[in-house]
Amino acid sequence: MTVRPLIKRLAVVGALALPIAGAVALTPPVEAAKSKQDALKIDLDVKDFTLDNGLRVYVVEDHSTPAFTINITYDVGSRDEVAGRTGFAHFFEHMMF
């Protein structure tokens, strides 16, 4: 590649980059949250109930799309193991998925 086409390409890239840089510079800064609590505050209409078998269920309805999400959390882990019988929580973790 000779010098002239290279200079031409650099001029085109520079001409395109300058308006973008100007637009970014003129964009007003976003106001930061007053505290971490304000930043994390989410107002959801959570319905919770417990089934007869003890399973706790939390439901948040959102009809904006025809989809659903399910999360399953097991309230047990290695903290519940006794000395001499360790590793079962890790084993069951792999067996459940």
Structure tokens at 62: 């959102």
Which residue is catalytic, options 31, 61, 81, 93?
93
Judging by beta carbons within 10 Å of its beta carbon (0-12, 13-18, 19+), is residue 81 exposed, middle or buried? middle
| 93: annotated active-site residue | yes
Catalytic residues: 93
